[in-house]
């Protein structure tokens, strides 16, 4: 009879960034239950402090190069994980900063919002640390289930409810695929550890490869790659805008972390790569083409950004394929850098929408922004920076992110893929520029009564978020050295230098 599995203090210290967030979430719930306060700003502050602690812990561990395993090898805290800790905590901080005023406008500023965000983020951090299939699955569920609730957070809003329903059905469907795939992988290898999985390919290839396919389909649902993208635009449009911000950044970045780790550690041997690589190239092409094409005809900003986020998944897939093909940590570093910049610019774009949201109505349609450049030059300038960066205009961050990924893809001999990527990003300029044209060059349809832009969504938190993202998009575009060095450090832990 084996003794109980010992869980020591070192294990708990090892997962400190995730644990800290979960504890903070529970504290928020208990505080709100026993000492209810009208203003929920205390909860917001606790959330921000907890995220900040995890962020600094991740950054500190990243620079000190900590690489250890905990919980009997189920969790590996390596620089790659720390890098994602940093990116995800940053993304969630931006999303939390955008929330308080918007929720108050909608009369649903509850403490549960922050607790749900914290639980979800703690799942994400474990997701990027998982080295074992049970851990991967549990972290995925911890990450997803709170987001289903968050999408439905404006309770009496029918759009929000419908979006939540659609997101739940698709999310749970993807989970079903993934669990079934995990079962087959476990059956083939006889163990859940990523490092043991390649053994299964040799002993029972049928089980292994069908399991691999199902797990990867589950992941492709989560990152919204075409043809598994149908939930994205609806969920983005219907969700409250701060939740959309959260979904478009943190919930987007986290599945990539788990997928990259699984692809390199468990499916990184040459027979498996020969199977999934061509499929991924095809899916990347489809994702970029469909995402950008459909975004062209959208009139709703949130929906358009949803399609644009699908397209960005395509660019990131290009980067992943290139880095596996080259087996180079430099190429993987460019993917991390891209995710970092993507988080900043996307958060900013949603932030502007929140700034102008009204009591009962969002400012979402592109037509709503007509005349913004004249009425509110600062807000228009910020929006201009984000959209230009999303398009990929130098010297902004978005340009360098794409540039690094595409140059490594060319080095990997994926020239046709890069041609498609560049053509589609030229196409993306049309719909991003549509926003700029609306803000600066279009005359209002009724010149006697131009649209009034009032900062109804204004709050100090939101302004801080907008300033930081705009500054980050410019600064880290011109001086990409610091994030790139950190990203290289992180990528080297997953792909050792030859």
Partner 1 sequence: MITLQEYLTVAALLFSLGLLIVLFRNNAISILMGIELMLNAANINFVAFSQSLGGLAGQVFALFVIVAAAAEAAVAIAIIVLMYQNLGTTDVEKAKNLNG
The single residue among 152, 317, 388, 420 that binds partner 1, judged by CB under 8 A, is 152
The single residue among 55, 114, 127, 148 that binds partner 1, judged by CB under 8 A, is 148
Helices (H), 327-414: 329-355, 372-375, 377-391, 397-411
Stretch that binds partner 1, among 12-20, 148-156, 311-319, 420-428 (CB under 8 A): 148-156
Stretch that binds partner 1, among 159-167, 271-279, 359-367, 441-449 (CB under 8 A): 159-167
DSSP assignment string, 113-162: HHHHHHHHHHHHHHHHHB-BHHHHHHHHHHHHHHHHHHHT-STT-HHHHH
Single out the residue of 358, 320, 301 nearest to residue 491, CA to CA. Answer: 320
The single residue among 54, 85, 164, 244 that binds partner 1, judged by CB under 8 A, is 164
**Reduced to 3 DSSP states, what percent helix, strand and coil does the chain have, rounded to the nearest 5?**
75, 0, 20
Contact 263, 328 (CB under 8 A): no
The single residue among 11, 67, 162, 367 that binds partner 1, judged by CB under 8 A, is 162
Query: What is the CB-side half-sphere exposure of residue 350 using CA atoms within 13 A?
Result: 33
How many other CB atoms are there within 10 angstroms of residue 202's CB atom? 12
Q: What is the dihedral of CA 141, 219, 337, 55, to 10 degrees?
A: 10
Q: What is the dihedral of CA 48, 51, 57, 63, to 10 degrees?
A: -100
Q: Minimum distance from CB of 138 to partner 1 (Å)?
A: 6
Token pair 């505080």 is found at: 31
Which residues, other chains included, contact 348 with Cβ-Cβ below 8 Å and sequence gap of 6+? Answer: 382, 383, 385, 386, 465, 466, 469, 470, 473
Considering the complex, state which of residue 110 and residue 173 has its C-beta at the smaller distance from partner 1.
173
Q: Minimum distance from CB of 7 to partner 1 (Å)?
A: 14
User: Residues 213-252: x/- map of binding to partner 1 (CB under 8 A)?
Assistant: -----------------x--xx--xx--------------
| DSSP H or E stretch at residue 69 | strand 68-70
The single residue among 65, 190, 413, 416 that binds partner 1, judged by CB under 8 A, is 190
Q: Does 416 bind partner 1 (CB under 8 A)?
A: no
Considering the complex, state which of residue 174 and residue 495 has its C-beta at the smaller distance from partner 1.
174
Q: Minimum distance from CB of 189 to partner 1 (Å)?
A: 9
Stretch that binds partner 1, among 21-29, 51-59, 84-92, 137-145 (CB under 8 A): 137-145
Considering the complex, state which of residue 59 and residue 165 has its C-beta at the smaller distance from partner 1.
165
* DSSP 3-state of 336: helix
The single residue among 70, 84, 127, 168 that binds partner 1, judged by CB under 8 A, is 168
User: Residues 88-127: x/- map of binding to partner 1 (CB under 8 A)?
Assistant: ----------------------------------------
Q: Does 71 bind partner 1 (CB under 8 A)?
A: no
Question: Rounded to the nearest 5 degrees, what angle is found at the Cα of 76, between the Cα atoms of 402 and 135?
Answer: 95
How many other CB atoms are there within 10 angstroms of residue 33's CB atom? 9
The single residue among 84, 177, 228, 406 that binds partner 1, judged by CB under 8 A, is 177
Q: Does 204 bind partner 1 (CB under 8 A)?
A: no
Which residues partner with 354 through β-bridges? none
Site residues, partner 1 (CB under 8 A): 133-134, 137-138, 141, 145, 148-149, 152, 155-159, 161-166, 168-169, 172-173, 175-177, 179-180, 182-184, 186-187, 190-192, 230, 233-234, 237-238
């Amino acid at each position: 009879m084996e003794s109980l599995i010992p869980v020591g203090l070192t294990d708990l210290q090892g997962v400190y960034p995730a644990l800290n967030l979960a504890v903070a979430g529970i504290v928020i719930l208990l505080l709100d239950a026993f000492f209810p306060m009208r203003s929920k700003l205390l909860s917001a502050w606790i959330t921000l402090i907890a995220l900040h602690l995890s962020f600094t812990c991740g950054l500190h561990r990243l620079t000190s190069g900590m690489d250890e395993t905990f919980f009997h090898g189920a969790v590996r805290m390596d620089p790659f994980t720390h890098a994602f800790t940093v990116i995800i905590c940053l993304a969630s901080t931006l999303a939390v900063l955008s929330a308080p005023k918007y929720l108050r406008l909608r009369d649903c500023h509850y403490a549960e919002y922050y607790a749900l965000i914290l639980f979800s983020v703690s799942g994400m951090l474990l997701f990027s640390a998982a080295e074992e299939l049970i851990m991967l699955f549990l972290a995925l569920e911890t990450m997803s289930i709170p987001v289903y609730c968050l999408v439905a957070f404006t309770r009496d809003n029918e759009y929000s409810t419908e979006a939540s329903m659609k997101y739940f059905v698709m999310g749970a469907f993807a989970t079903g695929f993934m669990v079934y795939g995990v079962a087959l992988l476990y059956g083939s290898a006889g163990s859940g550890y990523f490092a043991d999985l390649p053994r299964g390919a040799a002993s029972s290839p049928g089980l292994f490869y069908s399991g691999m396919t199902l797990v990867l389909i589950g992941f492709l649902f989560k990152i919204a790659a075409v043809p598994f993208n149908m939930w994205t635009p609806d969920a983005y449009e219907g969700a409250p805008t701060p939740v959309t911000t959260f979904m478009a950044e943190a919930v987007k970045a986290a599945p990539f972390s788990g997928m990259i780790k699984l692809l390199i550690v468990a499916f990184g041997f040459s027979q498996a790569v020969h199977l999934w690589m061509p499929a991924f190239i095809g899916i990347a092409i489809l994702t970029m083409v469909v995402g950008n094409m459909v975004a062209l005809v959208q009139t709703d900003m949130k929906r358009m950004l949803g399609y644009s986020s699908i397209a960005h998944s395509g660019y990131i897939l290009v980067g992943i394929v290139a880095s596996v093909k080259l087996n180079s940590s430099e190429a993987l570093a460019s993917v991390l850098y891209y995710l970092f910049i993507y988080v900043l610019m996307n958060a900013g774009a949603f932030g502007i929408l929140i700034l102008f949201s009204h009591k009962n109505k969002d400012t979402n349609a592109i037509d709503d922004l007509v005349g913004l450049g004249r009425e509110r030059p600062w807000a228009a300038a910020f929006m201009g920076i984000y959209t230009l960066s999303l398009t990929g205009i130098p010297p902004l961050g978005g340009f360098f992110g794409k540039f690094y990924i595409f140059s490594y893809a060319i080095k990997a001999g994926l020239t046709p893929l890069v041609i498609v990527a560049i053509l589609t990003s030229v196409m993306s300029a049309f719909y991003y520029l549509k926003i700029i044209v609306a803000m600066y060059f279009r005359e209002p349809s009724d010149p006697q009564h131009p649209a009034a832009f009032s900062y109804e969504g204004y709050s100090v938190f939101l302004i801080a978020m907008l300033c930081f993202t705009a500054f980050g998009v410019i600064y880290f575009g011109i001086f990409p050295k610091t994030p790139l060095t950190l990203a290289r450090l992180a990528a080297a832990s997953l792909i050792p230098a030859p």
